[in-house]
A and B are shown apart, each in its own frame.
Chain A
Amino acid sequence: MSNVLVGVLGYGVIGRRLADAVALQPDMQLVGIAGRPNSFSLRDAQWQGYDVYVADTPQTGDVAMRLATVSGDLSSLLSRIDVLLDCTPSGVPQHHRKLLDSVEHLVTIVQGGEQDVDCEASFHSMTSFDQVVGKRRIRVISCSSTGTTRFLYALDRAFGVEQAFVTLARRAADPGKPSKVPINSLVPTMGPSHHSRDVNTVFPDLQLVSVSVDCPTTFGHVIRFQVDLQRDVGRDQIIEALQALPRVVVGRGIRSTADLAEYYTDQGRRRGDRPEIYVFEDSIESEKSTLLAAISVHMESITIPETIDCIRAALNRIADPWESIALTDRSLGIFQPDASYTGSV
């Protein structure tokens, strides 16, 4: 079977990580990167050795006009690929919708900032892998929703979840972006945050309410959970259930998101990425059937493995989600579930 031919539109925080991830997959080939002709991200992509395409007509002085080689426009990229990973900022994917829909058999995967109603299906590797086969426009749920789904899925499959109260302290901006909030302020989202609804698009029967506050920090989100399980469970059983799930790390000795960022940078991860959720083991408390715990989610990289799985699921290249998860995780060097876990990362 030939490799899946993949293109990336938008070479920002997510796009550049996905490009690298696709390039590492044994069953995929990265054809090229498309971006705005006035964006320096095209230069960055070319420096990585990727072929670049322009999403609009270049104007005099645009970055694209200064590059040694441009492989073509967006249409020409689309004609060469099976799957487009649309990583443009929220709202932008709709601008290209007509063009993308006109390309026969093209599968487009967008990120969580897009509305689920604009897509045929939403995706999470562990809960909706078989729901996207044959779909042409699929949305991978947002970063916090992806992390929340992993955490609650681990608990649900082991013990059953009655309900969850999910409180998010979110980073206000990515490290390379201007802050969206004042530098010394907390900005709450009014009403339920989008995360509970987002999780329910891939995990429909789960009862949860989420609330969210943006904080002046950049390294990652911290999410605290209060979960009512369907039976009394001990703390050790909870740790075991979490540790058994791929893409979940339970650890001690790390106090904060800053410590986490430092640790993963030291591991040699490119850009310090952490596509695993990190569960602060010392935060786990159980009281009969109620659980309290805190996790951290790295918003820049957590959806990368799910997006890679989504490519295989949409094209029906692999039917078993756990086979795809294992393949993705091996190629990306994601920490593996560890039965001999000793409490340190």
Chain B
Amino acid sequence: MNIRVGLRGSTRLAKRLADGVAAQSDMLLADVAESTVAESTEQPALACDVLVDVSATNIRIFEAGDNFNSEQQDNAVAFTSLTDAVKPDRGQPLLVPGADAVALSRVVRALGDLCQINRLYATIISRGAHAADSAESSLDALEPVVGETELDAQLGLVFADVVSVCRARRILASYTHSHLLMIKLDMAASVERDAVVDALQQDSRILVGAAGDGFRSTADINEFFRDLGRSRGDRWESFVWDESMMVVNRGVYLMLDISPDAVAIPETIDAIRLIGSPQLDLASIRQLTDESLGLLQSITI
């Protein structure tokens, strides 16, 4: 039986999630409403099995039929690529964090198989605004963001038991497309660069591409995905530049680019399926999501 998915929110993320749900053969989009779950303490009236609440900074996925209130939302369980086998308690929502945390979790999942990751530091060059938004920042400026309490909280939730120190700090740029992350991982042991490249290439949601193959800038990546014919040119995959990967002593360095509007969609669909089809294991869930969305597995020529 199909999973009936109720979707609350009208953001860019919500629109992309609606398309993502529609692409799943085992899901039906039950309704789209602009009110948020937080506004209601009563059981939602939607005829759905799973309810998804999309806010500006994260996505919460509930099993329909539960009563929702703010206290229960605070008990949300993080759901990312790092999630192994979580089965939330009834009434306990899953939380898919913001795009940056989703992207970092994919990298940690892939490289964590090589050896323990002790620390992760990232500088995120973040778009100052989406092209359709009114920019609140200057048309010609770089702005280091200070007081990253919300991002810290998300990273703490996602990486608490995995990486002992995880810090990401943003610089807002006069730019509209993506987030570019400059990442350093302190590994517990030495690793080979080839192993790093292989691990990232094997991850189904990470694409390793080369500047030498025409992906010199984020504009090149953007144009490539617009040409694919995907709705809105969405890019669910993380893009890692092959030539950016370095290993120095026990440090692994790499640069990664993501679409903040689309990158969390696959994990959100996974989370919907985890609640709506509890008989499926996570590997099967992820494979179904990837195949249904049509994630690219390689862009190497």
Listed in ascending order, the chain B residues whose CB lies under 8 Å from chain A are 121, 123, 125, 137-138, 140-144, 146-147, 165, 167, 169, 171-178, 180, 182, 184, 211, 216-219, 241, 243-244, 246, 248, 251, 253, 255, 257
Please pick, from A188, A192, A219, A294, the residue contacting B241 in the complex, using a CB distance under 8 A. Answer: A188
Please pick, from A182, A211, A296, the residue contacting B219 in the complex, using a CB distance under 8 A. Answer: A182
User: In angstroms, how far is the closest chain A Cβ from the Cβ of B100?
Assistant: 14
User: In angstroms, how far is the closest chain B Cβ from the Cβ of A189?
Assistant: 9
- In the complex, what distance in Å separates the CA atom of A167 from the CA atom of B217? 17
Is the pair B143, A257 in contact by a Cβ cutoff of 8 Å?
Answer: yes
- In the complex, what distance in Å separates the CA atom of A290 from the CA atom of B138? 31
A187 at interface, CB cutoff 8 A? yes
Is the pair A185, B218 in contact by a Cβ cutoff of 8 Å?
Answer: yes
Is the pair B174, A280 in contact by a Cβ cutoff of 8 Å?
Answer: no
Is the pair A222, B178 in contact by a Cβ cutoff of 8 Å?
Answer: no
Is the pair A257, B243 in contact by a Cβ cutoff of 8 Å?
Answer: no
Is the pair A167, B173 in contact by a Cβ cutoff of 8 Å?
Answer: no
Is the pair A192, B246 in contact by a Cβ cutoff of 8 Å?
Answer: yes
**A182-B217, A294-B169 given. 8 additional CB < 8 A pairs?**
A188-B241, A191-B243, A191-B244, A211-B182, A217-B174, A283-B169, A292-B121, A292-B167
A258 neighbours in B (Cβ, 8 Å): 138, 140-141
Interface residue tally for chain A (C-beta within 8 Å) = 40
Is the pair A185, B138 in contact by a Cβ cutoff of 8 Å?
Answer: no
| Most central of A186, A217, A221, A282 by chain B CB within 10 Å | A186
- In the complex, what distance in Å separates the CA atom of A290 from the CA atom of B147? 17
Q: List 12 A-B contacts (CB under 8 A).
A: A169-B125, A169-B173, A186-B175, A209-B248, A216-B174, A219-B140, A220-B142, A221-B142, A224-B169, A292-B121, A294-B144, A296-B142
Is the pair A213, B182 in contact by a Cβ cutoff of 8 Å?
Answer: yes
Prevailing SS type, chain B contact patch? strand
- In the complex, what distance in Å separates the CA atom of A292 from the CA atom of B125? 16
Is the pair B141, A185 in contact by a Cβ cutoff of 8 Å?
Answer: no
B217 neighbours in A (Cβ, 8 Å): 181-182, 185-188
User: In angstroms, how far is the closest chain A Cβ from the Cβ of B261?
Assistant: 15
- In the complex, what distance in Å separates the CA atom of A282 from the CA atom of B244? 30
A98 neighbours in B (Cβ, 8 Å): none
A180-198 contacts to B, CB under 8 A, are 181-182, 184-188, 190-192
Is the pair B175, A256 in contact by a Cβ cutoff of 8 Å?
Answer: no
Is the pair A255, B143 in contact by a Cβ cutoff of 8 Å?
Answer: yes
A217-271 contacts to B, CB under 8 A, are 217-222, 224, 226, 255-259
Is the pair B123, A224 in contact by a Cβ cutoff of 8 Å?
Answer: yes
Please pick, from A187, A192, A218, the residue contacting B140 in the complex, using a CB distance under 8 A. Answer: A218
A255 neighbours in B (Cβ, 8 Å): 143
- In the complex, what distance in Å separates the CA atom of A226 from the CA atom of B166? 12
A282 neighbours in B (Cβ, 8 Å): 146-147
Count of chain A to chain B residue pairs whose CB atoms are closer than 8 Å in the complex: 127
Is the pair A216, B173 in contact by a Cβ cutoff of 8 Å?
Answer: yes
A74 neighbours in B (Cβ, 8 Å): none
Is the pair A215, B169 in contact by a Cβ cutoff of 8 Å?
Answer: no
- In the complex, what distance in Å separates the CA atom of A226 from the CA atom of B167? 10
Is the pair B241, A190 in contact by a Cβ cutoff of 8 Å?
Answer: yes
Is the pair A257, B241 in contact by a Cβ cutoff of 8 Å?
Answer: no
- In the complex, what distance in Å separates the CA atom of A165 from the CA atom of B182? 10
- In the complex, what distance in Å separates the CA atom of A224 from the CA atom of B146? 12
Is the pair A226, B244 in contact by a Cβ cutoff of 8 Å?
Answer: no
User: In angstroms, how far is the closest chain B Cβ from the Cβ of A298?
Assistant: 12
A290 neighbours in B (Cβ, 8 Å): 165
User: In angstroms, how far is the closest chain A Cβ from the Cβ of B27?
Assistant: 35
B142 neighbours in A (Cβ, 8 Å): 169, 171, 215, 217, 219-222, 256-257, 296
B180 neighbours in A (Cβ, 8 Å): 186, 188, 213
Is the pair B144, A283 in contact by a Cβ cutoff of 8 Å?
Answer: yes
Known: A182-B219, A226-B184, A282-B147. A165 touches B121 (CB 8 A): yes
- In the complex, what distance in Å separates the CA atom of A247 from the CA atom of B62? 55
Top 3 nearest A-B pairs by Cβ distance? Answer: A190-B243, A185-B219, A258-B141
A169 neighbours in B (Cβ, 8 Å): 123, 125, 142, 171, 173
* Smallest CB gap from B147: residue in A: A282
**Mask: chain A, 168-186; 1 = CB below 8 Å from B; 0 = not:** 0101000000000110111
- In the complex, what distance in Å separates the CA atom of A191 from the CA atom of B241? 9
A294 neighbours in B (Cβ, 8 Å): 144, 146, 169, 171
A218 neighbours in B (Cβ, 8 Å): 140
A190 neighbours in B (Cβ, 8 Å): 211, 241, 243-244
* Smallest CB gap from B146: residue in A: A282
Is the pair B125, A215 in contact by a Cβ cutoff of 8 Å?
Answer: yes
A182 neighbours in B (Cβ, 8 Å): 217, 219
Is the pair A211, B144 in contact by a Cβ cutoff of 8 Å?
Answer: no
A296 neighbours in B (Cβ, 8 Å): 142
* Smallest CB gap from B138: residue in A: A258
* Smallest CB gap from A295: residue in B: B144
Is the pair B146, A283 in contact by a Cβ cutoff of 8 Å?
Answer: yes
B251 neighbours in A (Cβ, 8 Å): 165, 209
